[in-house]
Homo-oligomer: A and B are copies of this chain.
Amino acid sequence: MSEAGPPTVGVDLGGTNIRAVAFDAEMNVLGREEAPTRAQEEPESVISRMADCVRTALESAGLELTEIAGVGVGAAGLTDWRSGTVLLAANLGWRDVPLAEVLSRELDGARVRADKDTNAAALAEARLGAGRSFGHFLYVTAGTGIGGGIVLNDALYRGSTGGAGDIGHVVVDPDGPPCGCGDRGCVEVFASGRGIVDRSKEALVAGEPEAEASPLTAEGLTTESVFGAAAEGDAFAAGMVRRAGEMLGLVLADYVNVNNPEAIVLGGGLRRAGDIYLEPVERELRRRSLPALGEAVNLLAPDLGEDVGMIGAALLLAEPDAEGN
């Protein structure tokens, strides 16, 4: 154990997998464990499996529960960080699940903090990553869906009910396709991985002229196949990817115009597509921002890799609680 402080465990609770990592005080990885989430089961079973992951990660690190400062969890949904209750998580099918309370009970009363996963990731980039030098930045993750977290004055800004940072539901086309949130034309229905696939399928099924000339077919279409075709020069796929990037860039410009941040850290799986996605994002961000604000903003890649969620979850334990302690 480091002299700087006790170890911690960070847990990422996603729609597909639970991932737990034990860290020392310098955030070096001491042990890890992974298990399927199985979101169709009762929340209690899922939380019980989370507890097993924490125990196994600790065992592989040669640590006891009593030796750690606590367990931090980043959950895939709107979470009340004060109580650690998951208020609404569509991918988990959870509503009002007292995650921190139940997990603490499963772990012999260990201290547990929970927040939404994108806040955990934003915190990790703020403390140890690309956001280190910025007091105010927006962390965005563009993957299957689009989400984010806001760091203001060097601290997570969660809003009045924990929902701040969710830029996936900014509307870019008031009469656009329906979104899972109940609204229409949210940026997520255009610019997320799922959105790119859905919009591409629509165009392929409708037989639009460019779609007709594409080797892609609606059946079995994935984000990877659209990006792959775009990279190989398919004009239809390239157009779909470009439009997705432009829509995300537009929403980032809206954020800049309203919130005037110092930086935006853009993470998530879609980054892997490279310039065919990132170039239109940045172009629209710059073009559509008010000049005085758009020139001032830095668009950055995240510094932290695949463990960003678990790192951030563990870092939650060092943040002030709802009472500022």
A169 at the interface (CB under 8 A from B): yes
- B-side contacts of A246, CB under 8 Å: 174
A2 at the interface (CB under 8 A from B): no
A296 to B159, CA, bound (A): 11
Q: Are A288 and B171 in contact (CB under 8 A)?
A: yes
A216 at the interface (CB under 8 A from B): no
Q: Are A250 and B161 in contact (CB under 8 A)?
A: no
Q: How many chain copies?
A: 2
- Interface size bracket, A side: 35 or more
Selected contact of A259 from candidates B253, B259, B291, B293, CB within 8 Å: B259
- B-side contacts of A136, CB under 8 Å: 159-160
A183 at the interface (CB under 8 A from B): yes
A128 at the interface (CB under 8 A from B): no
- B-side contacts of A260, CB under 8 Å: 158-164, 166
A152 to B151, CA, bound (A): 13
- B-side contacts of A150, CB under 8 Å: 259
A42 at the interface (CB under 8 A from B): no
Please encode chain A, from 51 to 78, with 1 for each CB lying within 8 Å of some chain B CB and 0 for all others.
0000000000000000000000000001
| Cβ-closest chain B residue relative to A148 | B258
Could you tell me the distance in whole angstroms from the C-beta of A235 to the nearest C-beta in chain B? 21
A189 at the interface (CB under 8 A from B): no
Selected contact of A257 from candidates B88, B160, B166, B172, CB within 8 Å: B166
Could you tell me the distance in whole angstroms from the C-beta of A155 to the nearest C-beta in chain B? 10
Selected contact of A292 from candidates B88, B165, B172, CB within 8 Å: B88
A208 at the interface (CB under 8 A from B): no
A94 at the interface (CB under 8 A from B): no
A105 at the interface (CB under 8 A from B): no
Additional pairs, 4, CB under 8 Å, beyond known A163-B292, A183-B253, A183-B290: A78-B292, A136-B160, A160-B262, A174-B246
Pairs of residues from A and B, 4 with the lowest C-beta to C-beta distance, nearest first: A159-B260, A163-B260, A164-B260, A160-B262
